[in-house]
Amino acid sequence: MAKIGRPTKYRDTFPVQAEVACREGGFTSIKLAKLFSVSIAAIELWQRTYPDFIRAIKRGKDDFNVATAENCLKKRLEGYQYDEVTKELVKDENGKTLQVTKVVTKSVAPDVTALIFFLKNRNRERWNDKKDVDLNVTGIDQILAGLKTAPLVEDE
């Protein structure tokens, strides 16, 4: 029996293209729809219909998200600089326009909390706050027995 309806635009090469687009460009479903010249509904249908397609998108998005988070953490660990741009309304012959009047380079110091987070996750054994304490004391029975038999000292 022949399939009814319009043939799909889906191609076997789309999973690889979608994964790269999501990994390198952080593509969303809207951007994927534009990339493949289809509607968002088609992207959603392909995700339900083609397991390779949805897996590729998830891998690409996960790689992008992790790389983005790691880059942000790295900036907070090391500190960074940025330019603060001030614009003011200036009257000119055409009326008023925004013009850059001042550019100031500002510095953001490294963040101690980001550093702690980084160290604790990078080397858990060395930087973990939790310490394992061995409570097995040899001779504890003798110590407890001695406390039971020791005479009590009364205050005078």
pTM for the model: 0.62
C-alpha distances (whole Å) from 8 to each of 45, 87, 145 are 10, 51, 83
Mean pLDDT score of the chain: 87
Q: Determine how β-strand 80-92 pairs with β-strand 95-108.
A: antiparallel
71: which residues sit within 8 A by CB, 6+ positions away?
none
What Rg, from alpha-carbon coordinates, does the chain have? 32
Mean pLDDT computed over 68-84: 94
pLDDT grade for 51, boundaries at 50, 70 and 90? very high
Cα(68)–Cα(76) distance, integer angstroms = 13
